[in-house]
Amino acid sequence: MSAVARRLEKTAWIFVKSVIDTTPNPFLILDPKLRVIMANKYFYRFFRVAPKQTEKKPVYDLGRGQWDIPKLKKLLEEILPQKTYFKNFEVEYNFPRIGNKTILLNARQIYEQAGLPRLIFTPMILLVMEDITALKESQKKAVTADRIIKESRAALEQQKEIDKLKSEFVSLASHQLRTPLTSIKWYADMLLQKRAGELAPKQKRYVREIYQGNERMINLVRNLLNVSRIEAGILAVRPRPADVGALLKEVTEEQVPFVRKKKHEVVVEIPAGLPKISTDPELVRMIFRNLFGNAVEYTPSRGKITCTAEKKDGGIVVGIKDTGIGIPARQQNRVFQKLFRGDNATRERPQGTGLELFITKAMVEALAGKIWFRSKEGGGTTFWVALPPKGVKMRPGQKIIDNHYDQTK
């Protein structure tokens, strides 16, 4: 080789070295026998090795022989004679000093990349390495997350199916229970009305106990039916113009006997000219019955219950305030949960179901309304229900059953 050619080769070699030293990936340049001619500084830095452990050594002898892979060796040996290259050859290995890594390899002839004349320069192989360990870990996590999501979705669908079957069973069982319970109620009522003759005081007391126990069972069955329909999404809504103030007044008047029994003071404040709104009056009536009934039930004798209605933002806001036992602060976040009852409520009325407020909230939301409360244990409770002026849409389904039962017998 002439002096000019040697100088040109030296200059080109310096240029190539400076280029690969600025690239933030480990590089090796191999001769036709796959010996390391040079490595860039990122190779030494990444693998934590020195030039004397690397240069002039066959690539498959480096380290612990991590590159001594028959398939990789075959690919490298084919690059120069067959003028080929390879991309994305993946090697996973527990490397000395740096631990387990996944490395991606790409290789080709160096003069083809630089456009240098083959007659002057010796063919060499450029082997580029890329650390994809973090990427592979992310992919594994993504696959794991995807599997978990799919399994969770499958479990959720299975749970939905179980809940559906449960609701259907509860609905069927409740329907089947209604007939005998209605018969018991009818016969007990006939006995109390002396249709079968005069009862002795002890007999009358026993029949009254039967009647009241049956009423509690009827109430439970009705609530179970209501819950099953709500969970099945078949709660019917049939809106029409309704006078919310009049409905509130009706509810308070129909419970007068029970109110008198507990000697409560009831104040109803409904302003004149309260506008009608488009809503389902049957659902509204049952919402008020639940809230007013609870106020009466959980307020000790000689308490006070105040019912108000006012126009606000075009809709109607109803408030029912009592001087009752209140709700413990630590349990207030669970008030609308199914089957929940406060500790003091359980003591006051052991036979309660814990379903009324769950059903009430579902009915309010079906009417596009909102329900909230403020309470203090021993200091009473106020529930508010806000009903919008319009926007409640007709929804076909099964009408919820009135869960109000006769508490006066």
What superfamily in CATH does domain 237-387 come from? Histidine kinase-like ATPase, C-terminal domain (3.30.565.10)
Examine the pLDDT at 86 and tell me if it is beyond 50: yes
Q: Name the residue ranges covered by the structural domains of the chain.
A: 3-131, 152-230, 237-387
Each residue's pLDDT tens digit, 349-388: 777 778 889 989 999 999 999 999 999 999 999 999 999 9
Measured distance CA(287)–CA(297) in Å, rounded: 15
Residue 320 corresponds to which tokens in the numbers above? 């029912």
Measured distance CA(30)–CA(124) in Å, rounded: 6
Where are any strands of DSSP class E within 176-303?
240-242, 265-269, 277-279
pLDDT band, residue 5 (cuts 50/70/90):
low
Mean pLDDT of 46-57: 91
CATH architecture of 152-230: Orthogonal Bundle (1.10)
Nearest to 126 by CA among 211, 16, 41: 16
Each residue's pLDDT tens digit, 138-162: 888 888 888 888 888 887 787 766 6
Examine the pLDDT at 320 and tell me if it is beyond 90: yes
Specify the pTM.
Answer: 0.56
Each residue's pLDDT tens digit, 253-309: 998 988 999 999 999 999 998 999 999 999 999 999 999 999 999 999 999 999 999
Show Cβ contacts of residue 375 under 8 Å, excluding neighbours closer than 6 positions: 326, 327, 332, 381, 382
CATH number of the domain at 3-131, out of 3.30.450.20, 3.90.25.10, 3.90.1150.10, 3.40.50.10140? Answer: 3.30.450.20
